[in-house]
Amino acid sequence: MSGFEIAGLVLSVLPSISAPLDFVERILGSARAYRRQKFGNVVQLPFLDTDIVQEFHRNINYWSDEELKTWKASYIAGCNAIAVAAAIFASIGLTALQLPNLNEVHWTARAIFSASMVFGILSVLSATTAHSQIGLLNDPLALRLWLSRGGPPSNIQYPEPYSGLPLQSSVSAILVLKLPKALLNLAGFSYIIAFGLYLILSWREAVPTTNDDYRNVLVVFVLCVGLVIVYQNSCFFQRILDDAKASHEFQYRRLGATLEKSPELEALESQLQSFQKKSDLRDDIEALTSEMRAMRDEFNITRPVPTGSHPTGISPSKSPEGENILGSHQPILSGPEDTTMLRQDLRALRDALNTFRSVGKSSD
């Protein structure tokens, strides 16, 4: 086959490959335009998670001070958890060096066990270092500047909505933030690989024991690891499909942990807030009902609350005690206006109950 034929074959295959790649980019997130402006055309392969870089570029400019403090507290808590897990891996990596007949098998098993221990120790050190660095940044502006590398250069034109932002994210800061988790993953993977290699070498090199023992343990080990990998990958791909369905339905694009807003997504947020307000109203109604019951018991009121005394938007129903009290009512709301009116009615009713209680005590 000549060079022209090979070139023609490649050009004919490229259009068929572009469609699946576009589909994967829509699902997993693509920062191609952003990456091209920030890193040029050299870094086009996913050696660096540019979605995270792009996400921090947006967050350090758009987050409020409270949101930044919440992220800081969450990251510090994550560092604590990573340090504990990494210390466990360091200890079991050291203990694994004392496995029976480990010195009689190939040295690679001992080397990878040692690497697992070292990765665990380094993960603890990096987690505590990042914890101290982030923990000392109490000023939100100082934290924003630590996560950035200053303003964007004048020769780079970022795509919207990043073109006019005063700060750009720092790749080195992101790598420092991700280092403890990356080292913890290396410690876990190294331990699993080393233990599997130890079982294989012990079985194949006929160490002074029955070969069937190591073979049977190896089968159980491979079965456990294989089941976990299959389960994790199935959940991962199902999560991709579910996220693709949700993003197509509400027309948003996921950028790391951030969602780029769309009219459909804003409508969903409004609908969720409406349901949350209804839930808060039910809690207010239950609290008010408890106050009414306590007042009834305090003043020995035996007559039930009149049926027509329920607030606007509340439908009466029978209570467990056979009385039409407020706790058995369920709010029927049709919009924000009904919610506002019901809150006003509840506030007025609570004021009336407090007045009634104060008058009753003064008369005593």
Q: Which residues contact 299 (CB under 8 A, 6 or more apart)?
A: 360
Residue 205 in this model has a pLDDT that exceeds 90: no
Comparing 77-81, 127-131, 244-248, which segment has the lowest mean pLDDT? 244-248
In this predicted structure, what is the pLDDT of residue 307? 43
Computed over every residue of the chain, the mean pLDDT equals 72
In this predicted structure, what is the pLDDT of residue 257? 57
Spell out the domain ranges in the chain.
Answer: 31-207, 264-363
3-state secondary structure of 148: strand
In this predicted structure, what is the pLDDT of residue 9? 44
Q: Which residues contact 188 (CB under 8 A, 6 or more apart)?
A: 89, 116
How does pLDDT run across 317-344, given as a tens digit for each residue? Answer: 444 443 444 444 444 444 555 556 666 6
Q: pLDDT band at 77, cuts 50/70/90?
A: very high
CA distances (Å), 12 to each of 8, 9, 22, in order? 6, 5, 17
Per-range mean pLDDT, top range of 6-10, 34-38, 249-253: 249-253
In this predicted structure, what is the pLDDT of residue 183? 92
Q: pLDDT band at 358, cuts 50/70/90?
A: confident
Q: Token pair of 120, please? A: 């665990």
Residue 286 in this model has a pLDDT that exceeds 90: no
Q: pLDDT band at 216, cuts 50/70/90?
A: confident
In this predicted structure, what is the pLDDT of residue 118? 92
CA distance 2 to 20: 28
Residue 5 in this model has a pLDDT that exceeds 50: no
Higher pLDDT, 281 or 127: 127
CA distance 364 to 347: 26
Q: pLDDT band at 107, cuts 50/70/90?
A: confident
CA distance 82 to 177: 12
CA distance 110 to 118: 12
How does pLDDT run across 239-259, given as a tens digit for each residue? Answer: 778 777 777 777 776 665 566
